[in-house]
């Protein structure tokens, strides 16, 4: 396998913290761009990996960091913001993607792997709308692109099972907006593997891969199952949409923004797919039952994803 020089945007986040070590094991040289490299020194200790301070929204700065690279990976994204004008989503998804495309063109980087989301471009949430607009920009570019659309992603450090487990440990009763919304949770290790395989296979250029796990589950059922996994008996109360919207509005002002009005709008659409992008890349989707119980028992840090992933 040819070693590539790769620049990763958003590589210090949840998916990036799994993807960077995966790509490093393939012998690639990686430059991870960060607003504050001192907060992410653990990535920089990996051989062939550097973490550099950068303003990824600054085209000139991005061009400088992309010089000499073979590929760029854009993992940048936000899930919510305060307010309802969508400006934060537009900046993080659309405007940044435009900057990445322009910087790649100016620096001679022809290959781009872009993170998106299932149902991108559908519905009335700013999150999905701007994900769709970013995809349109990528598709209209002259780059050799590949786009990934995952459902909700789980794994060590996720904002799904780990976040609900924290709430359930302290809350005997949990009111839940959009409890009937459906997901097909996909393992972060499988997502990382999809990126790694697509990067080195030319047939993935110009393709969109929808990444979903093997089980479709409603949000309410997912929360009940999480409570069982941590050994807690909890009352989960599905909220009607009127009260669910109020909960979402209040959630925007709580630490960590556990839910927002835009999240509520996104949950109107089920995050499921009839396509199997993982199978198209030769990957067998990892069941959440194989990973989550150990993860919630605090063993997730030792459960490396390559223990579970399927081989060709």
What mean pLDDT do residues 215-234 have? 96
**Hey, where are the domains in the chain?**
5-153+185-212+272-281
pLDDT recorded at residue 302: 40
Q: For residue range 158-205, what is the model confidence (pLDDT) as tens digits?
A: 989 998 999 999 999 999 999 999 999 999 999 999 999 999 999 999
Helix, strand, coil shares, percent, the chain, to 5: 45, 15, 40
Helices marked H in the chain — which ranges?
A: 14-25, 41-44, 59-66, 87-89, 96-107, 126-140, 161-170, 188-200, 219-229, 241-251, 261-266, 277-280, 288-294
Q: Are 76 and 9 in contact (CB under 8 A)?
A: yes
> Length of the chain, please?
312
Give mean pLDDT, residues 206-223: 98
CATH of domain 5-153+185-212+272-281: 3.40.50.720
Residues in CB range of 237: below 8 A, 6 or more apart: 173, 174, 175, 176
Q: Is the pLDDT of residue 310 over 70?
A: no
Looking at every residue in the chain, the average pLDDT score rounds to 92
Per the CB < 8 A criterion, the answer to whether 194 and 211 are in contact is yes
Considering only 31-45, 190-204, 217-231, 289-303, which range has the smallest mean pLDDT?
289-303
């Amino acid at each position: 396998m040819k070693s590539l020089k790769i620049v990763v945007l958003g590589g210090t986040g949840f998916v990036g913290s799994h993807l960077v070590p995966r790509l490093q094991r393939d012998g690639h040289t990686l430059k991870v761009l960060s607003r504050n490299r001192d907060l992410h020194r653990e990535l920089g200790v990996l051989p062939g990996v550097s973490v550099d301070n950068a303003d990824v929204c600054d085209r000139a700065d991005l061009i400088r960091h992309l010089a000499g690279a073979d590929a760029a990976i854009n993992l940048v994204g936000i899930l919510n913001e305060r307010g309802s004008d969508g400006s934060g989503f537009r900046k993080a998804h659309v405007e940044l993607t435009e900057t990445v495309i322009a910087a790649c063109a100016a620096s001679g980087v022809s290959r781009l792997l872009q993170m998106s989301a299932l149902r991108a471009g559908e519905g009335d949430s700013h999150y999905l709308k701007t994900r769709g607009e970013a995809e349109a920009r990528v598709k209209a570019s002259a780059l050799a692109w590949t786009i990934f659309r995952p459902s909700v992603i789980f794994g060590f450090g996720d904002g799904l099972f780990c976040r609900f487990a924290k709430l359930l440990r302290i809350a005997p009763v949990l009111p839940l907006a959009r409890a009937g919304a459906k997901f097909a949770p996909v393992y972060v290790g499988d997502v990382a593997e999809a990126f790694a395989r697509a990067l080195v296979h030319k047939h993935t250029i110009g393709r969109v891969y929808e990444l979903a796990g093997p089980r479709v589950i409603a949000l309410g059922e997912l929360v009940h199952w999480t409570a069982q996994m941590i050994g807690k008996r909890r009352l989960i109360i599905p909220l009607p949409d009127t009260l669910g919207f109020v909960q979402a509005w209040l959630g925007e002002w709580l630490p960590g923004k556990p839910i927002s009005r835009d999240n509520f709008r996104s949950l109107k659409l089920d995050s499921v797919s009839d396509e199997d992008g993982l199978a198209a890349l030769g990957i067998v989707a990892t069941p959440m039952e194989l990973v989550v119980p150990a993860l919630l028992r605090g063993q997730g840090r030792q459960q490396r994803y390559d223990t579970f992933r399927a081989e060709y």
